[in-house]
Amino acid sequence: MKNNFEGATMTAEMPTAQLSENDILIEQAYEALAGEAVSAPENGVVNNKKPSKWEKWKANFKRRGWILLFILPALIYVIIFCYAPMYGILIAFQDYGHGDPIVGQDTVWVGWENFNMFFSDPNFWNYFTNTFLLCFFGFIIGFPLPIIVALLLNSLRAKKVKKGLQILYYAPHFISLVVMVGMLKMIFGSDGLLDKIAGGNGLELFLKPEAFRPLFIFSGNWQDFGWSAIIYLAALSGVDPALHEAAKVDGASRFRRIFSVDLPAIAPTIVMLMILSIGNLMSCGYEKVILMQTDGNRLTSEIISTFVYNFGLGNDGNPGLGTAAGLFNSVINVALLVIANFTSKKLANQSMW
Amino acid sequence: MDGKELKALKKKNKIKESKTDYVYYSICGVILLLLAVIIIYPLYYIVIASVSDPSAVVNGEVWLYPIKMTFSGYANLFNRSDVWQGYFNTLVYTVVGTVFNIVLTIPAGWALSRDYLPFRKVIMPLLIITMFFGGGLVPYIAVCTALGLYQSPFIMIIGGGVSVYNVFMCKSFFQTNVPKEVLEAAQIDGAGEVRTFFDIVLPLAKSIISVMILFYAVGHWNNYIDALIFQVEPDYWPLQTVLKALLETSAGEGEVAAEQFLIAKQVQFTSIIIATVPILILYPMIEKHFGQGVLVGSFK
């Protein structure tokens, strides 16, 4: 992808003049250096044989292996905080108490009991459908909205207005969930603004199960439609203006050009994000749901991840059950991602891996 | 057809064309403006409610402009020691935590952007897998507990130390924005990997570092859940957790006397503002770095 802004700052800081003077010299020296490192063995005898892959690797490692130091801290972190918890999935098969070692001498193995307990929970299907519907409706509304916004913004001719709107549209993304839900309650909650305007007879939207999903999805889109549009806007700014000119000459109106120039240009991005979104159809984070959950709306607001939060944590919780439920959810997510990726590979010849 | 006729035809076509476009641009403008209003109004409402007389707010009279302007809400809020403590804690977590994030993320992105990185073919999938699959919440807590991070404020700094997504964003930034020639020249001059990174790469990475600082700092600033799932002592709660408690306790308890209820209500509005303003100040300063290269790179 072209990147004018970064490119400009970069070349400005580059010592260009010096570079061009030494260009050839550097190239020669570099070749010599690389050649030496690869083909001169320890004993000093010149080796004319082409170096094997392993030898090349070894030479490279010797010469530039220090770069591993840069990735090492992050790698160690990921192994401890991402891979060790994967090992911790074993908790799903244990009668685990908070603070126990993941596998120790006293570990009580219970097989699939935790899974059975989760699946035979009378509310299991309720949790399952709640999770799916919340994400699904969120997807139906939240997926096209940023595309439309990006297309409209991109067609604006006044660049300053466009820039100003962009800054405004991105801003809500940075508001915290606590503040977001707080605002939501101040406007839609009991004795909130809407309640008063509607006559103060107690709308109590936060106690109504049927209001939970609209509130959740509406506020989620309010926060993120602008932010999600960034990626499309970036793709749109890579469109060759000549295409627009050509379409104009052919008599295409600006509206028409959205469909014949802009949309085809961002189609690959749309497909890519679609795969990712479908892979996320069962993963709504619990952080916001927890904030919006009340005893009144639990019927629709209890999703699998909030079940884990509500029943799997702390001293009273059942960690084994929580792990099993969480694992069930993430296995579905991975399966969805693989299916979505496979489908798009077949249909659109585009995939993530 | 002579030139005059052609000119007239062109003019006619132009008018016709711009008419349909005119309709389009009008509709487009109206929609975008409407979206702007939808974004601004709730924020505006909180601001005017925070400086209005709380009884007017509770009666729903405040919706377009402040009524009986007062700053007592702010005064009351700043008298609360828990809010101050939360503010202080959040500042510490955000600053130290973000430094920790940057120290882990930027070098990792740089290393991954080089194809001569040994074991690259192993490291890449190792990182990608974590984007799509994880152990889940309970095992994560179990691991952190084993590390002594349960009920410890250090979890607020160490938790979420590396976002693999951000690492990949840095990686593609470095892939497209560090000229090969400069690196080769440095190598000829005898600069090793470490010197190359500090003397050449870092000065070129200002914009990606700014964006990373914004992302991570916002993450720390807005984090409320870690203090709850790790049962951190209230004295060490970050501002958002304090805010959550503050917004929930006084929400609708009839026990509180009417006046106290009003004060509490007003404090809620003001607390939302003081918790959000720092972020909304930081964000536009860094917004200019959202160049395409920085954000688009996150894909692939």
Nearest to A88 among B24, B139, B251 (CB): B139
Give residues with Cβ within 8 angstroms of A290, minimum separation 6. A306, A309, B225
Query: How many Å lie between the alpha carbon of B64 and the closest alpha carbon of chain A?
Result: 11
Superfamily of domain A126-299: MetI-like (1.10.3720.10)
Domain presence at residue B193: yes
Q: Which of B40, A220, B34 is nearest to B48 (CA)?
A: B40
Q: Which of B12, B53, B173 is nearest to A251 (CA)?
A: B12
Tokens 């109590």: give the residue.
Answer: A204
Q: Is the pLDDT of residue A2 over 80?
A: no
CA distance A118 to B74: 47
CA distance B56 to B58: 6
A109 strand-pairing partners: A94
Nearest CA in chain A to B132: A334
> Which residues in chain A are closer than 8 Å to B240, comparing Cβ atoms?
176, 178-179
Task: Tell me if B130 and A83 make a contact (CB, 8 A cut-off).
Answer: yes
Domain presence at residue B4: no
Q: Is the pLDDT of residue B245 over 50?
A: yes
Q: What is the pLDDT of residue A21?
A: 42
Range name among A1-5, A109-113, B85-89 with the lowest pLDDT average: A1-5
Q: Which two tokens stand for residue A181?
A: 């839900």
User: How far, rounded to the nearest angstrom, does the alpha carbon of residue B149 sit from its chain's CA centroid?
Assistant: 25
Per the structure, the count of domains in chain B is: 1
Top residue of B138, B212, B216, B298 to mutate, by most chain A CBs within 10 Å, is B138
Task: Tell me if B137 and A305 make a contact (CB, 8 A cut-off).
Answer: yes
Q: What is the pLDDT of residue B277?
A: 92
Domain presence at residue B26: no
Task: Tell me if A186 and B107 make a contact (CB, 8 A cut-off).
Answer: no
Q: Is the pLDDT of residue B211 over 70?
A: yes
- Angle (CA) B229 A184 B264, round 5°: 80
Q: Is the pLDDT of residue B148 over 80?
A: yes
Give the type of residue at A54: W
Give the type of residue at B32: L
> What is the domain range of residue B285?
82-296
Phi first, then psi, for residue A109 (nearest 5°) are -85, 135
> Which residues in chain A are closer than 8 Å to B189, comparing Cβ atoms?
none
Query: How many Å lie between the alpha carbon of B133 and the closest alpha carbon of chain A?
Result: 6
Task: Tell me if B284 and A167 make a contact (CB, 8 A cut-off).
Answer: yes
Highest mean pLDDT among A202-206, A336-340, B78-82, B155-159: B155-159
Q: What is the pLDDT of residue B12?
A: 59
Q: What is the pLDDT of residue B2?
A: 59
Give residues with Cβ within 8 angstroms of A31, minimum separation 6. none
Q: What is the pLDDT of residue B229?
A: 94
Q: Which of A151, A248, A245 is nearest to B20 (CA)?
A: A248
Q: Is the pLDDT of residue A191 over 80?
A: no
Q: What is the pLDDT of residue B291?
A: 66
- Angle (CA) A227 B286 A6, round 5°: 90
Task: Tell me if B20 and A290 make a contact (CB, 8 A cut-off).
Answer: no
Nearest CA in chain B to A74: B104
> Which residues in chain B are closer than 8 Å to A234, comparing Cβ atoms?
292, 295-296
Nearest to B139 among A91, A101, A191 (CB): A91
Nearest to A14 among B104, B140, B179 (CB): B179
> Which residues in chain B are closer than 8 Å to A339, comparing Cβ atoms?
none
Q: What is the pLDDT of residue A19?
A: 43
Q: Which of A56, A228, A148 is nearest to B295 (CA)?
A: A228
Domain presence at residue B76: no
Q: What is the pLDDT of residue A22?
A: 45
What average pLDDT score do residues A235-249 get? Answer: 91
Q: What is the pLDDT of residue B138?
A: 95
What average pLDDT score do residues B263-283 get? Answer: 90
Nearest to B161 among A81, A171, A333 (CB): A81
Q: Which two tokens stand for residue B80?
A: 């609360």
CA distance B118 to A274: 34
Dmax (CA) for chain A in angstroms is 95
Task: Give the residue ranges of DSSP H helices in B135-257.
Answer: 137-146, 155-158, 164-177, 180-188, 193-195, 202-204, 206-222, 225-229, 239-249
Which of A298 and B298 is assigned the larger pLDDT?
Answer: A298
Q: Which two tokens stand for residue B159?
A: 């938790």
User: What interhelical angle do B120-132 and A68-78 show, nearest 10?
Assistant: 30
> Which residues in chain B are closer than 8 Å to A178, comparing Cβ atoms?
222, 224, 240-241, 243-244, 247, 275
Which of A130 and A29 is assigned the larger pLDDT?
Answer: A130
Top residue of A31, A160, A186 to mutate, by most chain B CBs within 10 Å, is A186
pLDDT, one tens digit per residue, over B119-133 is: 999 999 999 999 989
Residue A199's pLDDT band (boundaries 50, 70, 90)?
Answer: confident
Nearest to B110 among A13, A70, A327 (CB): A70
CATH of the domain at B288: 1.10.3720.10
Task: Tell me if B31 and A70 make a contact (CB, 8 A cut-off).
Answer: no
Task: Tell me if A178 and B167 make a contact (CB, 8 A cut-off).
Answer: no
Give the type of residue at B267: V
Query: How many Å lie between the alpha carbon of A333 and the closest alpha carbon of chain B?
Result: 8
> Which residues in chain A are closer than 8 Å to B29, comparing Cβ atoms?
156
CA distance B24 to B16: 13
Residue B256's pLDDT band (boundaries 50, 70, 90)?
Answer: low
Task: Tell me if B181 and A237 make a contact (CB, 8 A cut-off).
Answer: no
What is the residue-averaged pLDDT of chain A? Answer: 85
User: What interhelical angle do B164-177 and B120-132 show, nearest 10?
Assistant: 130
Q: Is the pLDDT of residue A329 over 90?
A: yes
Query: How many Å lie between the alpha carbon of B84 and the closest alpha carbon of chain A?
Result: 17
Question: Please, are residues A62 and A37 in contact by the beta-carbon 8 Å criterion?
Answer: yes
pTM, whole model, 2 decimals? 0.86
Task: Tell me if A84 and B218 make a contact (CB, 8 A cut-off).
Answer: no
- Angle (CA) B267 B269 B271, round 5°: 65
Domain presence at residue B264: yes
Domain presence at residue B75: no
Query: How many Å lie between the alpha carbon of A46 and the closest alpha carbon of chain B?
Result: 23
Q: Which two tokens stand for residue B189?
A: 């001059």
Sorted by where each begins, the domain ranges of chain A are 51-123+302-325, 126-299
User: What interhelical angle do A16-39 and A53-64 show, nearest 10?
Assistant: 130
Q: What is chain B's percent helix, strand, coil content, to nearest 5? A: 75, 0, 25
Range name among A190-194, A286-290, A328-332, B83-87 with the lowest pLDDT average: A190-194
Domain presence at residue B162: yes
Q: Is the pLDDT of residue B7 over 90?
A: no
Query: How many Å lie between the alpha carbon of B68 and the closest alpha carbon of chain A?
Result: 17
